[in-house]
Chains A and B, each alone.
Chain A
């Protein structure tokens, strides 16, 4: 740690966790439920991905409630918890902005399915009035 860091300084709990994640069009993608940390070649620890979903949130909450959330979510899921690599992050401000579209990220498959098969068929859902 130096007195005057060369880069921007962020506190993970204060500036990143629980922030909204939006796509290139400003549409809500998810929230930052947890952050993946990986050691680099020099031994330093780096934030490498945003972790999404109840399994990520459950481990963060901890205790009986956290274990309960993780247990239910794990029974319904067959794949690893969704993650968004930090290479997709364009900006970190009051929200985290990505350089990708929500549908291409695959972090909320149920939401995507409802959007594609139900919401998009409702007249007016595609901003025709604008």
Chain B
């Protein structure tokens, strides 16, 4: 499995309606130790209706400038959702949120 297997994939809600695409995977460094450091655990998926500008970070850094670009990207991603990874499952090749 690779990060690219998930980033860019469409996610549907429990009723099968599309809620957007995964723009990023949020990880927490609290996994088992490997080589003296804890492994990164996939904790949540960042889901937006658009992928444009998601790699710039404006949608997550509140003070990153210039402000005009920040405002534009944040407007594009105004519906950004952070969904716990434990609530996402794959059924028949479709990523779906399992909770209401």
Name A residues whose Cβ lies closer than 8 Å to a Cβ of B.
Answer: 1, 5-14, 17, 34-40, 44-48, 51, 56, 59-60, 62, 85-90, 99
Contact = CB atoms under 8 A, between A and B. Distances in A.
Interface residues of B, number: 38
B42 A44 contact: yes
Given A1-B44, A46-B41, A38 B34 contact: no
Given A11-B27, A36-B2, 4 more contacts: A1-B84, A12-B25, A45-B1, A56-B2
A6 B40 CA distance: 12
A47 B27 contact: yes
7 contacts: A8-B29, A13-B3, A13-B7, A17-B55, A37-B1, A40-B32, A87-B35
Given A45-B1, A56-B2, A59-B4, A11 B25 contact: yes
A44 B31 contact: yes
Contacts of A99: 35
B94 interface: no
A88 B34 CA distance: 9
A102 to B, nearest CB: 18
B25 A86 contact: no
Given A85-B34, A99-B35, A46 B60 contact: no
Interface of B: 1-8, 23-32, 34-44, 46, 54-55, 57, 60, 82, 84-86
Nearest to B82: A1
B54 A59 contact: no
Given A1-B85, A13-B23, A13-B54, A47 B40 contact: yes
